[in-house]
Amino acid sequence: MAANNFSVARYAPRRGPLARLTARDSIVRRLDWPLLFSALALSLIGSLLVWSATRNRTTLNQGDPYYFFLRHLLNTGIGFTLMVGTIWLGHRTLRGAVPFLYGLSILLVLAVLTPLGATINGAHAWIVIGGGFSLQPSEFCKITIILVMAMLLATRVDAGDLVHPDHRTVVKALCLAAAPMGIVMLMPDLGSVMVMVIIVLGVLLASGASNRWVLGLLGTGLVGAIAIWQLGVLDEYQINRFAAFANPDLDPAGVGYNTNQARIAIGSGGLLGTGLFKGSQTTGQFVPEQQTDFVFTVAGEELGFVGAGLILFLLGVVLWRACRIARETTELYGTIVAAGIIAWFAFQSFENIGMTLGIMPVAGLPLPFVSYGGSSMFAVWVAIGLLQSIRVQRPLSA
């Protein structure tokens, strides 16, 4: 694939996380501001939607209508700080720490299977820290899978030894990705595994590996899905979710309740919505998990088609800028990292919004930047930091 041209001639590694950046060509000047503003706007819109969804839920907010609103802003602030730290360190510096980060993520997901793990909303995927805080390690596994696969697949290509990753390297990368995915499947957290599979596909496509690997992975995934279904790995509530997706009229007061109420909320918003804090479905608390999995229903009902469309537009800007970063970098490592993040954000957004509209099964995935949840917020902002680092540290001639 001569068009890639990932060679020493085009890219000479530089020492230090932010080396050889002149004052004129500073970090601030090289940041992708549309990407940053869009991600920040999504988080701030999310804080208002979370506030509307939880201000009347006294059983959740401990009697404080601002409880989730302030914590969402706090999570956004921490996530933003993690983004700044990621940019400062740089994706190339983090490349050397990938083995440590990968090992740490494996230990954390394994800890969920011990008595340290906790079940929240049917998924045994959390570690309760205390003080109302919890950690979902599978969110960080999405990042480490991207980084470890990028490190393996790009090393010899960026060095100029190979044009494409060889088969042995692809096998090693897939094995390292399969380890955390297998552990997460044991929780079981099917939604996170679905995202990880899409990430692996995106990474392989961006790496220039043979298409036979992509086709083989798709075939293996299909066989694996059938095996999981037949062997009874999934919990009953997960099987019921797929049954409700296949037949929307199945048990509308039970397993189909969430999706039915979500569609009622979105449909009642019309063009401009009922107004923030004025949605009857939201105020009446008819939609379960509305601050997390079904936060898009608040936008549909209270902000209408225009407000929901704004969220889709901002997500589109994030994906567009990420695609530009992936295309403009001259190192395969940066391209793969950006492609993995694109696959992650695109699929998770489609799945989350799709399940509120009834076109995708309910999988318990948050809407990036918008849904309430610390682990998810921290992970997506670290991903933004990686994208910004790839842009900031590209060669000046690019």
CA of 57: how far to CAs of 51, 289, 290, 298, in Å? 10, 11, 11, 14
Helix (H, G, I), strand (E, B) or coil at 199: helix
Of the candidate ranges 3-7, 162-166, 273-277, the one whose mean pLDDT is the lowest? 3-7
Residue 365 belongs to some domain of the structure:
yes
Q: Comparing 9 with 149, which gets the higher pLDDT?
A: 149
Residue 2 belongs to some domain of the structure:
no
DSSP result, 265-308: HHHTTTTT-S-TT--HHHHTT-STTTTTTTTHHHIIIIIHHHHH
**Residue 49 in this model has a pLDDT that exceeds 70:** yes
**Residue 397 in this model has a pLDDT that exceeds 90:** no
Of the candidate ranges 68-77, 239-248, 374-383, the one whose mean pLDDT is the lowest? 239-248
Query: Residue 218: which pLDDT band, with cuts at 50, 70 and 90?
Result: confident
> What does the pLDDT read at residue 131?
65
Percentage of the residues of the chain whose pLDDT score is greater than 70? 84
> What does the pLDDT read at residue 244?
62
DSSP result, 113-151: TSTTEEEETTEEEEEEEETTEEE-HHHHHHHHHHHHHHH
Whether omega before 188 lies within 30 degrees of 0, making that bond cis, reads yes
Run of H or E including 347: helix 332-357
Mean pLDDT of 99-103: 95
pLDDT in tens, 151-161: 999 988 888 88
pLDDT in tens, 294-303: 999 999 999 9
Q: Comparing 157 with 16, which gets the higher pLDDT?
A: 157
Residue 195 belongs to some domain of the structure:
yes
Of the candidate ranges 18-22, 82-86, 333-337, 345-349, the one whose mean pLDDT is the lowest? 18-22
Residue 1 belongs to some domain of the structure:
no
> What does the pLDDT read at residue 25?
56
> What does the pLDDT read at residue 249?
63
Neighbour tally for 57: CB within 10 Å = 14
**Residue 7 in this model has a pLDDT that exceeds 50:** no
> What does the pLDDT read at residue 326?
95
Residue 15 belongs to some domain of the structure:
no
140-156 exposure pattern, b = at least 16 Cβ within 10 A, e = fewer: bbbbbbbbbbbbbbbbb
Instruction: Identify whether the C-beta of residue 355 lies closer than 8 Å to the C-beta of residue 362.
Output: yes
> What does the pLDDT read at residue 156?
87
Strand partners for 120: 123
pLDDT in tens, 227-264: 766 666 666 656 666 666 666 666 565 667 778 888 89
**Residue 21 in this model has a pLDDT that exceeds 50:** no
- Count: domains in the chain: 1
**Residue 23 in this model has a pLDDT that exceeds 60:** no
User: Measured between alpha carbons, how far is 107 from 368 in angstroms, rounded to an integer?
Assistant: 25
Mean pLDDT, rounded, of the chain: 85
DSSP result, 304-335: HHHHHHHHHHHHHHHHHHHHHHHHH-SSHHHH
Domain residues for the domain of 117 are 28-392
Residue 343 belongs to some domain of the structure:
yes
Residue 19 belongs to some domain of the structure:
no
**Residue 18 in this model has a pLDDT that exceeds 60:** no
CA of 219: how far to CAs of 202, 239, 363, in Å? 16, 22, 22
**Residue 9 in this model has a pLDDT that exceeds 60:** no
**Residue 189 in this model has a pLDDT that exceeds 80:** yes
Residue 140 belongs to some domain of the structure:
yes
pLDDT in tens, 265-312: 998 999 999 999 999 998 888 888 899 999 999 999 999 999 999 999
